[in-house]
Amino acid sequence: MPNWLKNAVFYEIYPQTFKDTNGDGIGDLNGIIEKLDYVKDLGCNALWINPCFDSPFKDAGYDVRDYKKVAPRYGTNEDLYSLFDEAHARGIHVLLDLVPGHTSEEHEWFIESKKAEKNEYSNRYVWTGSWIQGIAGHPYIGGEADRDGCYMLNFFKCQPALNYGFLNRTENWQLPPDHPDCIATREALKDVMRFWLDRGCDGFRVDMADSLVKEDDENKSATGRIWKNIREMLDRDYPEAAIISEWSNPEQSLKNGFHADFYLDHQGNGYNTLLRDYETDGGDHSYFKKDGKGDIMRFLHDYLPKYNATRDDGYISFITCNHDTPRPGRTLDINELKLAYAMILTLPGVPFIYYGDEIGMRYLDIPTKEGGYTRTGSRTPMQWDSSRNYGFSDADTDSLYLPQDTSEDAPTVEAQLKDSDSLLNEVKALTALRHKYPDLQADGSFEVVYAADERFPFVFRRGKLLIAVNPSAEKASAGITATGEIVHQIGEVSLNGEELIMKPQSFAVVESE
């Protein structure tokens, strides 16, 4: 386990929309370098950068054309090497986004795989044995190659699926995971990882990590064996490199080699009930919605079994949001966001702050861009200051990668830094608290002290720290022995030794005597 992960607070950067330094309306690597001091000042000591590799950008870079080349719109490979160096000089680790399940249809491997003549890439992708033979249960394309066969897709038409084999084979064109050509796919992935690790990258966030072997069993055992093999390489050759999975099943991912796994926003799961429980009829029942009448037990019934089963294997990563998820500012006001982030940043595991969430950037209802569709509204340009285009770019406004929030009260970093009561300054205080107290690190202990169905507050313990949150619009109390010094609070909280009393929308961290 990389030691640095224990105290890591990540900042996710969508490179297209973070900071543009060359005036083309699109963010770039030099823009990230320019803002590294801001990231450090925020209290984040690690970055996850969404795909910055060469791509036709039909899926915003998740359709990779060349894994070893930076997309020209972001800069050069040398710019990325400089970013690694500049980040490391500030004590910041950098994860790149690894897309192992598919490539762009324009990737060199796929161009070779489409050829009628047999070659070393013929089985790099999943192909049927005939132009007229489809793939039941999977999207596929026919009639697009000289080769006699149809090829499988993972998502969009532009994303042919790489071939890691089929665990449960039903057709003669399906290869087993231990076939030499499937092993060659795995080794090609490891080669890409080594390329970037050797140049200063600190690891990878892995896109759709559970989707490699097709027709895998419910435990993803064959896909898991691939990641265990990769973990063996990392432990041997790059012991401080981290891999974090987009899997959202820690009982599978952490036991198969990943250091951490994202707790993603899936409808009805525990994380979803905290921030985005508005997808079914009947209103918004998110726990952090002050009038939502949320229930912490819905979160705990889902989270606790995951945590208890995996706390010795790795970390669960809570996110404020990501590039695929509606920003929490879509439905939560500033006070609600403060409380939500306070809990996220004091729970176990490795937390991730999505760029702009620290100032409460809003989700915008805008047209799709580069395959974003409903996700596009969470990918708008960062709002730095009151200058043109909120300081994101000097380009004409009409030339920006995406439109920005035009509201009179659109939040900016500049304005919130000047406001001692701002969301940004609250986030900075919370990250400082997390770094100050070892009990708040990823592997610190966690114990539920008070939680009840449809009741407030929620109280938990991290070592010598007692943490309590009351997101509701009503006063709440808990009959618990609580003594010590309140080292951080939002709203009004009091202790009398026998009872914890919390005013509406309050939070406290108590250091035990």
- CA 185 – CA 12 distance, rounded (Å): 28
326-346 average pLDDT score: 98
At residue 483, the pLDDT reads: 85
Q: Which of 246, 277, 358, 439 is catalytic?
A: 246
4-25 average pLDDT score: 98
| DSSP class per residue in 243-271 | EEES-S-HHHHGGGT-SEEE----TTSHH
Query: Does the pLDDT at position 513 exceed 90?
Result: no
For 360-419, what is each residue's pLDDT tens digit? 999 999 999 999 999 999 999 999 999 999 999 999 999 999 999 999 999 999 999 999
pTM: 0.98
At residue 293, the pLDDT reads: 87
Number of H helices, E strands in the chain: 12, 20
Query: Does the pLDDT at position 64 exceed 80?
Result: yes
89-113 average pLDDT score: 98
105-126 average pLDDT score: 98
Give the residue from 231, 208, 253 showing the smallest Cα distance to 97: 208
Give the residue from 222, 211, 227, 66 showing the smallest Cα distance to 153: 211
At residue 481, the pLDDT reads: 84
Residue carrying structure tokens 């231990």: 178
Residue carrying structure tokens 């359709």: 63
For 274-320, what is each residue's pLDDT tens digit? 999 998 777 899 999 999 889 999 999 999 999 999 999 999 999 99
- Residue 496's pLDDT band, with cuts at 50, 70 and 90, is confident
- CA 222 – CA 220 distance, rounded (Å): 6
Catalytic, 54? Answer: no
∠ CA 332-338-342, nearest 5°, is 125
For 235-281, what is each residue's pLDDT tens digit? 999 999 999 999 999 999 999 999 999 999 999 999 999 999 998 77
417-438 average pLDDT score: 98
Q: Which domains does the chain have, with CATH numbers?
A: 3-100+182-438 (3.20.20.80), 102-163 (3.90.400.10), 445-512 (2.60.40.1180)
73-97 average pLDDT score: 98
At residue 63, the pLDDT reads: 98
412-435 average pLDDT score: 98
478-487 average pLDDT score: 90
At residue 281, the pLDDT reads: 72
At residue 280, the pLDDT reads: 77
Residue carrying structure tokens 């002050």: 290
At residue 23, the pLDDT reads: 98
For 145-164, what is each residue's pLDDT tens digit? 999 999 999 999 999 999 99
> Token digits for 422?
């701002």
Catalytic, 333? Answer: no
Q: Which of 12, 63, 207, 426 is catalytic?
A: 207
Report helix, strand and coil shares of the chain as percent, to nearest 5. 30, 20, 50
At residue 111, the pLDDT reads: 98
By DSSP bridging, strand 484-490 and strand 506-512 are antiparallel
